[in-house]
């Protein structure tokens, strides 16, 4: 769409000026209402100085948090100093640096790539990729270029850039988007340390979750998460959170915190995973049955009740965000048996809230079941 193409940046214009005889600005076929002056220095090099109206782009909130499935507004406003008497046609571009970037090459450049979300000029706009049809500009007042995202998804987290362009002027501001949720450690049915990076990503996705970011794991550690097995994070590092220092978990002399193995080979190295799950639209519930069920029977029982067997991420989200409290062990979709406790009490495990796990028992054993509808 030619109307949305960005104008030549100032450096390109500068180079064009240098090509003119004497380095002077003999032809400047562009006028956007700003004032520029071409000055030749002692070396004969032309340099453009700005001495007019200045464009400012700001956001009152550097970070925004929301719940999965909801709508969120990322604030972005621009104005001119001094103010203009008449409105101007500006171009706005929203781009996104995902928190969970999954790429095969292990290179810093793979994580520095921003993805276009939306571009707009006047009444014309275009959205891209997974954001198509889910985003719009709020435009509640002059200069309001805030981005509204509907139906928030797990992978929408990350850093968003609002870039406003008017001729040679180009200013931007960033806003972090976080989802309220819960981090949980996850390991394979085969046991400890069986996931490479891509296997960990898939395992979290299978449980209605995504690989946790460092910030999410750090926040979980601050809230008391203590786990002595190392797991993959979204940035390709391997870490684990310790609140009580002890042997085998970095040693008694090492202060509590996140133990960091750094970047690991995404294919060859194997660890567990730290997953992040946010709120779900449906309801997780313990299916009341007169008898206990093996795994196959549990799957069928949920289907007969008009639902499906719950996933691990859904159970954690229901526990943490919805206050699900049940002292009954039940099957989940991955073949594990767990139960959520928000109010610790006798015969319900440790004296701290959490999701209790029986691991992956033989599928023939009898338990209850947690369903999701």
Please classify residue 29 by burial: count the beta carbons closer than 10 Å to its beta carbon, then call 0-12 exposed, 13-18 middle and 19+ buried: exposed
In a domain, residue 325? The reply is yes
Distance CA 123, CA 139 (A): 11
Domain end call among 242, 257, 278 = 278
Query: pLDDT: is 368 or 13 the higher one?
Result: 368
Find where tokens 């007169």 sit: 290
Predicted pLDDT at 31 = 40
Is residue 35 pLDDT above 80, yes or no?
no
**pLDDT band for position 155 (50/70/90)?**
confident
190-194-260 Cα angle (round to 5): 135
From 278, 296, 331, the end of a domain falls on 278
**Residue-level pLDDT at 23:** 42
Query: Does residue 9 surpass a pLDDT of 60?
Result: no
The answer to the question of residue 294 being in a domain is yes
Report the candidate in 175, 65, 159, 174 with the shortest Cα–Cα distance to residue 115. 159
Tell me which residue of 267, 274, 198, 265 sits closest to 230, measured CA to CA.
274
pLDDT at position 112, please?
Answer: 57
pLDDT of residue 41 exceeding 50: no
Task: Dump pLDDT digits (tens) for 156-196.
Answer: 988 999 999 987 788 999 999 988 899 999 999 999 999 99
- Mean pLDDT across the chain: 85
- Which residue did the predictor score with more confidence, 215 or 50? 215
Q: Find the CATH number of the domain harbouring 357.
A: 3.10.100.10
Residue 46, domain member (yes or no): no
- Please tell me the predicted confidence (pLDDT) of residue 195: 98
CB-side neighbour CA atoms (13 Å) of 273: 28
| Range in 7-21, 251-265, 306-320 with the lowest mean pLDDT | 7-21
Q: Check whether 1 has a pLDDT greater than 70.
A: no
**335 and 297, same domain (yes or no):** yes
Task: Supply the range of the domain harboring residue 204.
Answer: 181-278
Segment 35-42 mean pLDDT: 43
Say yes or no: 67 and 158 in one domain.
Answer: yes
Residue 236 lies in a domain: yes
Residue 32 vs residues 88, 165, 166: alpha-carbon distances, Å: 9, 11, 8
pLDDT recorded at residue 86? 75
Compute the average pLDDT of residues 278-292. Answer: 92
Q: What is the mean pLDDT of residues 95-120?
A: 70
* Average confidence (pLDDT) over 322-341: 97
- The top-scoring range by mean pLDDT among 8-12, 16-20, 62-66, 131-135 is 131-135
Q: Do residues 276 and 200 lie in contact, with contact meaning Cβ atoms separated by under 8 Å?
A: no
Q: Which residues pair with 172 in a beta bridge?
A: 163
Place of tokens 């009152």: 60
Residues 138 and 204 in one domain: no
Cα separations (Å) of 127 from 133, 164, 175, 257? 7, 16, 18, 41
Is pLDDT at 52 greater than 90 in this prediction?
Answer: no
pLDDT band at 101 (very low <50, low <70, confident <90, very high): low
Query: For the stretch 43-68, what's the b/e string if a residue is b when 16 or more beta carbons lie within 10 angstroms of its beta carbon?
Result: eeebebeeeebebebebeeeebebbb
323 vs 41: which has the higher pLDDT: 323
Q: Within this chain, do residues 272 and 357 fall inside the same structural domain, yes or no?
A: no
Is residue 349 situated within a structural domain? yes
One domain, residues 63 and 154? yes
Last residue of a domain, one of 278, 297, 315: 278
Same domain, 185 and 169: no
- 194 and 272: one domain? yes
Please tell me whether residues 270 and 338 are part of one structural domain.
no
For residues 305 and 249, membership in a common domain is answered with no
pLDDT greater than 60 at residue 64: yes
pTM over 0.85: no
Q: What is the mean pLDDT of residues 318-346?
A: 96
pLDDT tens track for 255-275:
999 999 999 999 999 999 999
Domain count, the chain: 3
Answer yes or no: do 134 and 87 share one domain: yes
CB 171 within 8 A of CB 92: no
Q: Are residues 60 and 175 in the same domain?
A: yes
Q: Is residue 256 part of a domain?
A: yes
Residues 6 or more apart from 244 whose CB is under 8 A from it?
226, 256
Q: How far is CA 318 from the centre of its chain?
A: 20
Tracing tokens 């979204």 back to the chain, one arrives at: 234
Does the structure show a pLDDT above 50 at 208?
Answer: yes
Residues 202 and 173 reside in one and the same domain: no
Lowest mean pLDDT among 38-42, 128-132, 295-299, 338-342: 38-42
The yes-or-no verdict on residue 36 having pLDDT over 50 is no
Residue 311: predicted pLDDT: 98
Structure tokens at 52: 């007019």
Domain membership of residue 293 (yes or no) is: yes
For residues 102-108, give the mean pLDDT: 44
Q: What is the pLDDT of residue 113?
A: 77
Assess whether pLDDT exceeds 70 at residue 107.
Answer: no
CATH value at residue 95: 2.60.40.10
Decide if 206 contacts 332 (C-beta within 8 A): no
Q: Is 21 part of a structural domain of the chain?
A: no
Q: Residue 49's beta-bridge partner residues?
A: 37
């Amino acid at each position: 769409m030619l109307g949305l193409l960005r104008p030549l940046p100032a450096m390109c214009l500068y180079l064009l000026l240098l090509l003119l005889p004497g380095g002077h600005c003999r032809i400047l076929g562009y006028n956007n209402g700003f004032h520029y002056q071409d000055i030749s220095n002692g070396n004969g090099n032309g340099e453009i100085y700005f001495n007019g109206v200045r464009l400012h782009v700001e956001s009152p909130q550097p970070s925004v948090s929301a719940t999965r499935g909801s709508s969120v507004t990322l604030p972005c406003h621009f104005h001119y100093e001094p103010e203009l008497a008449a409105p101007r046609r500006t171009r706005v571009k929203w781009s996104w640096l995902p928190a969970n970037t999954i790429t095969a090459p292990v290179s810093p450049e793979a994580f520095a790539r921003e993805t276009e979300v939306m571009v707009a000029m006047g009444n014309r706009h275009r959205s891209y990729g997974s954001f198509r049809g889910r985003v719009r500009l709020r435009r509640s007042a002059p200069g309001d270029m805030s981005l509204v995202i509907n139906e928030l998804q797990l992978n929408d987290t990350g850093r968003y850039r609002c870039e406003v362009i008017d001729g040679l002027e180009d200013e931007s501001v960033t806003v972090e988007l976080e989802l309220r949720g819960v981090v949980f450690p996850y390991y394979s049915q085969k046991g400890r340390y069986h996931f490479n990076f891509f296997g960990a990503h898939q395992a979290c996705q299978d449980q209605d979750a995504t690989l946790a970011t460092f910030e999410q794991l750090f926040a979980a550690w601050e809230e008391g998460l203590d786990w002595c097995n190392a797991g993959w994070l979204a940035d390709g590092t391997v870490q684990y959170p310790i609140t009580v220092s002890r042997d085998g978990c970095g040693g008694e002399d090492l202060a509590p915190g996140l133990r960091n193995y750094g970047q690991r080979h995404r294919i060859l190295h194997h660890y567990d995973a730290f997953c992040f799950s946010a709120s779900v639209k449906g309801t997780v519930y313990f299916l009341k049955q007169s008898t206990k069920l093996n795994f196959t029977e549990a799957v069928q029982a949920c289907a007969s009740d008009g639902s499906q067997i719950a996933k691990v991420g859904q159970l954690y989200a229901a526990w943490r965000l919805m206050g699900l409290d049940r002292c009954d062990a039940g099957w989940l979709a991955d073949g594990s048996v767990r139960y959520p406790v928000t109010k610790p009490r006798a015969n319900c495990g440790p004296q701290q809230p959490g999701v209790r796990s029986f691991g992956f028992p033989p599928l023939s054993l009898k338990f209850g079941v947690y369903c999701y509808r």
